[in-house]
Amino acid sequence: MRTAAKLGAVVAGLGFLASVAAAYKGMRDLMVTSGGFCASGGPYAIAQGHQCNGTTVAYLLGGIGGMVVLGGITLVLISAADGPVMEAGLIGWVALFGALGFNFISLGFSPPKGMGGGGGWIVCGVVFWAMAIGGLVPIAGEAIGWLRRGGRPEPGPPPFTPIVRAAVRSDVPPGSGPLDAERRAF
């Protein structure tokens, strides 16, 4: 069962990364073709060049939906395989915000023709990268701890913890208690 869960987690994790790539592509297409926003339908007139492209919408919605569904499946399967759920979730976090932050920064420094300056996109990219770094910090801490333990997992809590503990007096030498006197009598 654990082997099947591990294999399923790898497949779902790869699907999650493909979903991140789809969201990345959809976001980039949206930013390049219409400046980062689009609309369609409704009672208002949509400015020329800002109509939603069906392919871009499919990439964005498919990518976001895939990330939610496949990310959840990945975490459930990792949990079933007794794997590091928190670290896997953080890796997904870093992948998402790192990729989208790169989109903002790269298009901020070389904005598409006719889109004006890209200062706002650079600020958004820096914020997204700061969020990605926020996920990297605990991952790095876990990796350093794992290396210090020589690649062994962190020891878990003991399987049994006594509820009542005996009080031991330190002023009585061993072998001089009342039970010891009874044992000597036999």
How do the domains of the chain map onto residue ranges? 2-41+48-148
Query: What is the arithmetic mean of pLDDT over 151-166?
Result: 72
pLDDT at 180 exceeding the cut of 80: no
Instruction: State the chain's maximal CA–CA distance in angstroms.
Output: 105
pTM (2 decimals)?
0.71
In the prediction, which pLDDT does 33 show? Answer: 83
At residue 157, the 3 state secondary structure works out as coil
Which of 9-13, 15-19, 25-29, 154-158 has the least mean pLDDT? 154-158
Angle, CA of 79, 162 and 174, to the nearest 5°:
140
Q: Which pLDDT tens digit goes with each residue over 80-99? A: 888 888 888 899 999 999 99
